[in-house]
Homo-oligomer: A and B are copies of this chain.
Amino acid sequence: MTENNLPYVILVEPQLAENVGMAARAMMNCGLYHMRLVNPREDHLSAKAVSASSNAEEILYTAEVFADTKAALADLETVMATTARHRDQTKPVYTADKAASLLSEETAAGHKCGILFGPERTGLTNEDICLADAIINVPLNPRHCSLNLSQAVLLTGYEFYKTQIEAPREQFVVNHTRLAEKEKVLGFCDYLEHKLENCGNYKIDAQREKLVINMRNIFTRNRLTEQELNTLYGIVNYLEKPKV
């Protein structure tokens, strides 16, 4: 991810320094580093704010402060405003993931972008929203969609972060060992089958065919590692040792 052209997170009239700090932490979680503050009520460099940022204080120290929203977005080309409530304005409304993919395209094209967040209690005013190109709405339970400021920053930033990485959505982690080849897995099944044949249990004889199928299903479908296969051999050998 290039840090050169990332969206600005613009907090409009945040009330509590602690919330600004927590928003900085959420930004850092999502690889966003540029904060702008419009007329913050408290000092965003106070000990409270720095402590709440939880090691993301570099964002607070480099934050730019503006007297009004218009000034904070004067040099930006694309601005989106986050709102929780339905607004009476004629404007495109995007879900957070759709907005993230649009902002990703915009920043990749070299456009300076910003995301507006309103004050904790009231959210953005209509006067601020009408300055934005579009509205971002995070889809949440309509019975309970109020988020605190840092959570709104986190969800919006998280969607943007996902557009910037190429992480596999699915991995199978194998540490200090490797997946066992099928021959080895089936070799263990044969070994176990042989041990069972010799254990002298007539029930097993009667159900041999079904047991073999089940056993192979059990041990083939869960992608055993070589280490785990050794563990299974150990278990079988331990079980057949005569009790002292």
Contact A139 B161 (CB under 8 A): yes
> Is A140 part of the binding interface, using a Cβ–Cβ cutoff of 8 Å?
yes
| Chain A interface category by residue count | 35 or more
What are 22 A-B interface contacts by the 8 Å CB criterion? A25-B144, A28-B144, A29-B144, A30-B140, A31-B141, A54-B146, A88-B175, A89-B175, A90-B174, A90-B227, A92-B170, A92-B172, A93-B171, A95-B169, A97-B162, A97-B169, A98-B170, A138-B158, A139-B162, A139-B167, A151-B154, A154-B154
Does B29 contact A171, Cβ atoms closer than 8 Å?
no
A159 to chain B minimum Cβ distance, whole angstroms, is: 9
Q: Which residues of B contact A56 (CB under 8 A)?
A: 144
Number of identical monomers bound together in the oligomeric complex: 2
Q: Judge whether A90 and B140 touch: CB under 8 Å.
A: no
State whether the Cβ of A91 lies closer than 8 Å to any Cβ in chain B.
yes
Interface string of A162-197 (1 = CB under 8 A from B): 100101111111111100000000000000000000
Residue of B nearest to A169 (CB): B98
Contact B175 A158 (CB under 8 A): no
Q: Which of B92, B141, B165 contacts A29 (CB 8 A)?
A: B141
The 6 closest A-B pairs by CB, nearest first: A98-B169, A28-B144, A31-B141, A93-B171, A95-B169, A29-B140
